[in-house]
Structure 1
Amino acid sequence: MFQFNGYVLDVARGCLRTEDCEIELRPKSFEVLRCLVENAGRLVTKDELFRAVWPGVVVSDEALTQCISEVREAINDREQSTIKTMPRRGYRFAAPVSKPGSDDEHQRPAPATLDDATTSRLAEKPSIAVLPFVNLNNDLQLNYLSDGITGDIITELSRFSDLAVIARSSAFQYKSKSVDVRQVGRELGVRYVLEGSVRHDEKRIRITAQLVDAITGAHRWAERYDCELKDAFDVQDEVVRTIVTILQVRVVEAEAERTLSKPPATWEAYDYYLRGFEAWAMGFAQRPIASLYEARRCLERTIEIDPGYARAYVVLGRTYTYAYVEPRDDAYLDPTALERAEGLAMTAVRLDANLPQAHTFLGAVLSFKRRHEEAIAECEQAFLLNPNFSDHGVGLCLIFAGQPTRAIEVMRASMRLEPFRNAVRLAYTGHAHFMLGSYAEAVTPLRDSAWQMPDLRITQLWLAAAYAKLDRLDEAHAAADEVRRIEPNFTIERWKRTAVYKRPEDAERLFDGIRKAGLPDS
């Protein structure tokens, strides 16, 4: 049985009814409704309906149109808000659907074999991990495409506050590994796992996806999407909508339309965006300046093709803030780099005011301009748009604003969706402890962060100060040597321009530790 909009579709008895009465439907019309309801949330093509309702028989479009008309009359859908026509393609059942008495509506407790501690982390809402989609092309250089599609699905699912989505960095720990989804469920503390693959040639793309219950290992849904490259974004929306429906996320059509971001206009723009994002991530983690320049080239090309794509402005802007605060090239401490970043951030917010990444990036820029209240307001707006959103930059904004305790809370909440912690969150957590005077508690996350990203100068600097405050001077001097390795001409006076702490006592606490570690004032 399926419930929707006050109706019950009883497949076993072959009837449609309300609480008060049974509604007559011709058998073929009933089967059309059944097919649409069973596939609620995704496009059901005309060919699928013909195969399901009239198997082995050739019928005209008029036969299907008549059945759709009868179904709409039966469920009082004269406005066509429940069964949506997708011109020349098929139909989509847009109302939320549930199964009375099933696990989908009343989820049973996990069996004893699932680690209770792991389960408790995400127990308050349906949880899912999206594993890296497999690149079925022989060309490894096309990994960026399957990785990008995976990342976009994670991002779009994360917009729904009723769904806990494991972050990209944790999900990608399983890339290129053969895994048992039940083991993944135990390790990440999720109920559902999405797997998939991508194959494409010059003209077409095929995306396969399957949703698996990570507790039982049972397959809950699978689909294959074939389309021309220019239609790839429509396919992406269908994948996300279908997953959300199956997981019983109670989102009405208007909310779904508001929260699903609009993809760029053409495949070429999206392709450049994926390449740019990959280059930016490499430049940040491994520090080759050429990657930063390649990221800018690709992202600027994205914007040329599709000037309305807000995400491209966000990532492009991040390349400028990073170059401003880290000694990479002539942009280091150059105010024009920060101005460029602010302009890109403002444009991203203007283009898509519902994009959380745009608000947190703007908050980061405002923070470096010492506009702390405005920075925090932008971060708050991001979380209002999506309480499930995770951005480590919020932690640094809070530390600069004199709120280290809250920064730790935010980083802990972020790590809840990051079972495999990343280096930047660890660094910000450690620095927040430093600002609270908890130097011993600061050392461990800072040291772990420095081990993971040894070329990120700010982490080495914070670690040197923490060791110095604990009078562990040999270790402080070793961390200070790492700072000199990255920036041979480092001076506190020069670096102060990016030490934008709201409270003077916070800045002085840090400067005192840096001096004690052996780094010069000027």
Structure 2
Amino acid sequence: MARQIRFGAWCFDPDTHLLAMGEERRVLEPRVSRLLEFLLAHPGETLSHDQLVDAVWDGRVVSDEAVRRAVSTLRHALAPDGSDHCIRTVHKRGYVALFEASQPQVAMPRAHRGASFLQRYAPPLWQRVAWALSLVFLASALTLTLLAYRRASESPSPPQAMAMAPTLAVLPFLNLSAEADTDFLADGVSEELRDTLARYHGLLVTAHASAFRLQGSQTDVRELGRQLGVRYLLQGSVRKIDERVRIDARLTDAVSGRQIWSGNYERSLAQLLDLQQEIATEVARALELVPVSAQTGNAGARTPNVEAHLEFLRARERLATWAVDDAEQAIAHLQRAIALDPGYAAAYAQLADAIMIRALSTGGVEPVRATVEPLLDKALALDPGLGEAYVTRSWLIEDRVQEERELRKGLELSPNYARGYEMLAARLMELPERQAEALRLIDRALALDPLTPRNHHIKAIFLAKLGDLDGAEELERRALGIDPRFRSAQLWLGTLSALRGEFAQAVEHGERALAIDPRATFLREGLVNFYLGLGDAAAAHAIDSPATPNGRLALLLFDADWQGAADWIDRAEGSATRPELAKHLVSYARLRHGLATGNPAQFATALAAELGFDGTLPRLTAAPEFRAYTDLAQLLHASGDEAAAKRVQQLLEAELDELEAVAPGQKRALDAVRALLLAQAGRDRDAIAALERAYAAAPLPLWWIHLKHPAFERLRGQPRFQGLVARVDAHLEAQREKLAQMRRRGLVPERADQNQR
């Protein structure tokens, strides 16, 4: 019988590390789980560093930072904004838990039959710009706000019933066949059982990627349960003898280690699908799940062709990395699966997904739309209940309402599809008032699939936007621990380093990411930015060959080639694929070109049209968006339209005041925007003071745009401005020397622009 600790609206299972509140579920790291259990046992007590180390780290020597990170992680699990209303820091003394367990140990309920989780959420349109994961986010210095979390804490929802749904992982079945090349059969049985059981709405089933990473593990079932964050494990073996198959299966309680069900079956190969359904039904009965009509979905999602299913499984494994080469191998596997079984609905949906994954790393969605749409239509014609196809199709939808409807429908049909929750979370991240929902959704994805690195990566992005760079770094390193080839984690470690002014370290991470997937456009664009942060234009040019949309635009701006930048923008906007260009780069190019040609009015009109400015501002949630409009104000001022320029500045100041009030953790980026507005208003002393605040810790990543901005022209001769520039130069020189040392040690390759040799 499992333990269950209730405190406030939360319910905590120390054995499975599951923290739940109503439909919200978060699987804590084992160390964080032990920390929570210890704090619950000592409410109101001031617990020192040594006490926590003794209880949680078994007395091993650990740093204050390790303890602080564990506490920070727990705070974010209990309150999305990481506030200390649950765990208070007592300066130089320790920590105090401000909650009290109301029911320390009770039996864990067997099943949860509440309303569908998705009825509570409504996602907005996801901004499909790969550059947002490199240059835009790098430039923004993480300016999305904490408003949603404060509102959530001010208006808490009533506590809900704390029944927890049972959690299950289907481990890869052992292949005991004497025949060669029959591993696919055991893998196929495991996958079919997982997919069938995942359709039960009262059961949380760990995704295939997490379970298959433990293939062949001899670890004790209790430890396996802890690693996967599940209560139950389904294991077994498959033996093929001529045209018959024997399956042995057992269901184990991962908390107690007790076997609670087992079965031995033998059928002909032709009866394999029916046998898998029979086993799934027995497992569901052992877990006391209520049968649901049409629970198993349309047979079109499956295939009786074992070779086709093997190709499908090989493809799914490849797609875990999101690398271009792996996606192309997955595409080949899926094309073979469809050739073997043209009625295999899941293969059509997976093929569409693989093509989309490749497109997001290369040329974008639009060039593949005509290829992907028919594949998804075919998948849904074969199986209208295939939720994964609806989730993938949401990528193609521009209308907010329809996109939301598509995602919700997909997750209603496949309520254990971790990828769907991750995608829904990513779509919510842009709006501050919905970030609390986004965190709940990514925690749901992590509970379902704790060993897929992308889920940790997406949550790391959320923490970074909240200003918790240490927590974000820890999650990215965890993602790499799961899969060292997960390139996005390497790039984001570089982004986090750049935000701290550690540009040499950023380059090292960016080079590692590019080595993993040299064909990914957004990785090269990100690395271009890291090199420009060091002022190393030659290396940046070498990386940007062939040219990437935003990488080349950034280089043209760095080189002060205003005409070239304008031509590049016009060429991109006139191309058939219309690549997404970062608006703050476009606005800076328009500003510089307008001033250089002496025709600012023309370029102010063009920029206003590109931004969609009609006299009112859209909702601004990030520093790059503010900078685009400050460039518009600068052009209006230069054209002599002082009234329009002042109007834009006033609108920006009002938006900035509101954002600053709810985003104290993003102060550096906002101070940089404030400096531009103050300089445009002629308040030079205040502008320099804001600049000094923005650059006090380290240079901002896009210093080469910001400090050279025309708004600061009057300030350049002032000693305080010159002193700030000198400090930035000294910092960059030290970073360049650090990079040179890395190159001498072989950590970073030599880069030189071939065109300049």
TM-score by length of 1: 0.65
Deviation string for 1:241-278 (max 9, x for gaps)? 11111211122xxx24344442567532x421332331
Contact 1:460 1:483 in 2 (8 A): yes
Q: Structure 2 CA distance, aligned partners of 1:109 and 1:452?
A: 28
1:357 pairs with one of 388, 401, 407: 388
Q: Are residues 293 and 250 of structure 1, via their aligned partners in 2, closer, same or farther at CA, if it must alter by over 3 Å? A: same
Return the offset for 1:362.
Answer: 1.4
Q: In the alignment, does 2:266 pair up with 1:231? A: no
Q: Structure 2 CA distance, aligned partners of 1:461 and 1:323?
A: 17
Return the offset for 1:312.
Answer: 0.8
Q: Structure 1 CA distance, aligned partners of 2:480 and 2:196?
A: 31
Q: Are residues 381 and 461 of structure 1, via their aligned partners in 2, closer, same or farther at CA, if it must alter by over 3 Å? A: same
Contact 1:372 1:397 in 2 (8 A): no
Q: 2:729 is matched with which residue?
A: none
Q: In the alignment, does 2:500 pair up with 1:470? A: yes
Q: Structure 2 CA distance, aligned partners of 1:447 and 1:498?
A: 29
Q: Are residues 283 and 142 of structure 1, via their aligned partners in 2, closer, same or farther at CA, if it must alter by over 3 Å? A: farther
Contact 1:443 1:467 in 2 (8 A): no
Q: 2:550 is matched with which residue?
A: 493
Matched ranges for 1:404-443 at <5 A: 404-418=435-449, 420-436=450-466, 438-443=468-473
Greater Cα radius of gyration, structure 1 or 2: 2
Deviation string for 1:154-173 (max 9, x for gaps)? 22212112122233333334
AA aligned opposite 1:377: R
Matched ranges for 1:1-12 at <5 A: none
Q: Structure 1 CA distance, aligned partners of 2:425 and 2:580?
A: 16
Tell me how large the CA RMSD over aligned residues is: 3.9
Q: In the alignment, does 2:349 pair up with 1:314? A: yes
Return the offset for 1:321.
Answer: 0.8
- SS of the equivalent of 2:418 reads coil
Return the offset for 1:187.
Answer: 4.7
Q: 2:335 is matched with which residue?
A: 300
2:313 pairs with one of 258, 274, 277: 277
Return the offset for 1:199.
Answer: 1.9
Deviation string for 1:463-486 (max 9, x for gaps)? 433332232323223233345542
Q: Structure 1 CA distance, aligned partners of 2:486 and 2:365?
A: 19
Contact 1:184 1:214 in 2 (8 A): yes
Q: Structure 1 CA distance, aligned partners of 2:505 and 2:302?
A: 53
1:118 pairs with one of 16, 22, 27: 16
AA aligned opposite 2:410: A
Q: Are residues 514 and 227 of structure 1, via their aligned partners in 2, closer, same or farther at CA, if it must alter by over 3 Å? A: farther
Return the offset for 1:510.
Answer: 12
- Residues 258-267 or 150-159, more deviating: 258-267
Q: Are residues 340 and 209 of structure 1, via their aligned partners in 2, closer, same or farther at CA, if it must alter by over 3 Å? A: same
Deviation string for 1:7-55 (max 9, x for gaps)? xxxxxxxxxxxxxxxxxxxxxxxxxxxxxxxxxxxxxxxxxxxxxxxxx
AA aligned opposite 1:381: K
Return the offset for 1:416.
Answer: 1.9
Q: Structure 1 CA distance, aligned partners of 2:386 and 2:579?
A: 30
Q: Are residues 140 and 116 of structure 1, via their aligned partners in 2, closer, same or farther at CA, if it must alter by over 3 Å? A: farther
Contact 1:404 1:435 in 2 (8 A): no
Q: 2:196 is matched with which residue?
A: 156
Q: 1:45 is matched with which residue?
A: none
Q: Structure 2 CA distance, aligned partners of 1:250 and 1:244?
A: 8
Q: In the alignment, does 2:324 pair up with 1:267? A: no
Q: Are residues 170 and 305 of structure 1, via their aligned partners in 2, closer, same or farther at CA, if it must alter by over 3 Å? A: closer
Q: Are residues 264 and 429 of structure 1, via their aligned partners in 2, closer, same or farther at CA, if it must alter by over 3 Å? A: closer
Q: 1:13 is matched with which residue?
A: none
- SS of the equivalent of 1:508 reads helix
AA aligned opposite 2:348: Y
Q: 1:133 is matched with which residue?
A: 173
- Residues 496-505 or 237-246, more deviating: 496-505
2:232 pairs with one of 192, 197, 204: 192
Return the offset for 1:144.
Answer: 3.2
Q: 2:410 is matched with which residue?
A: 382
Contact 2:312 2:333 in 1 (8 A): yes
Deviation string for 1:104-149 (max 9, x for gaps)? xxxx55599x972526447512332222210113567433332232
1:337 pairs with one of 368, 374, 377: 368
- SS of the equivalent of 1:325 reads helix
Q: 1:449 is matched with which residue?
A: 479
Q: Structure 1 CA distance, aligned partners of 2:622 and 2:205?
A: 35
Q: Structure 1 CA distance, aligned partners of 2:487 and 2:213?
A: 25
Deviation string for 1:411-455 (max 9, x for gaps)? 11221233x442111221122334455544433323443565555
Q: 1:508 is matched with which residue?
A: 624
Q: Structure 2 CA distance, aligned partners of 1:167 and 1:283?
A: 14
Return the offset for 1:305.
Answer: 4.7
Deviation string for 1:373-413 (max 9, x for gaps)? 43333222233334443213333333467754433221112
AA aligned opposite 2:402: E
Q: Structure 1 CA distance, aligned partners of 2:395 and 2:341?
A: 25
Q: 1:348 is matched with which residue?
A: 379
Contact 1:310 1:348 in 2 (8 A): yes
AA aligned opposite 2:498: A
Q: Structure 1 CA distance, aligned partners of 2:211 and 2:331?
A: 26
Return the offset for 1:237.
Answer: 1.0
2:184 pairs with one of 120, 123, 144: 144
Q: Structure 2 CA distance, aligned partners of 1:207 and 1:510?
A: 62
Return the offset for 1:318.
Answer: 1.6
AA aligned opposite 2:624: E
Aligned length: 398
Q: Structure 2 CA distance, aligned partners of 1:434 and 1:499?
A: 23
Q: Structure 1 CA distance, aligned partners of 2:626 and 2:248?
A: 51
Contact 2:13 2:19 in 1 (8 A): no
Deviation string for 1:310-361 (max 9, x for gaps)? 211121112211211224xxxx447332432233233333432322212211
Q: Structure 1: any 5+ residue segments left out of the alignment?
A: 1-107
- SS of the equivalent of 2:389 reads helix
AA aligned opposite 1:428: I
- SS of the equivalent of 2:385 reads coil
- SS of the equivalent of 1:478 reads helix
Kindly indicate whether structure 1 or structure 2 has the higher relative contact order, using CA contacts under 8 Å at least 6 residues apart.
2
Contact 2:300 2:343 in 1 (8 A): no
Q: Are residues 380 and 266 of structure 1, via their aligned partners in 2, closer, same or farther at CA, if it must alter by over 3 Å? A: closer
AA aligned opposite 2:440: E
Q: Structure 1 CA distance, aligned partners of 2:212 and 2:273?
A: 22
- Residues 502-511 or 117-126, more deviating: 502-511
Q: In the alignment, does 2:359 pair up with 1:324? A: yes
Contact 2:200 2:295 in 1 (8 A): no
- SS of the equivalent of 2:290 reads coil
Q: Are residues 479 and 189 of structure 1, via their aligned partners in 2, closer, same or farther at CA, if it must alter by over 3 Å? A: closer
Contact 2:4 2:13 in 1 (8 A): no
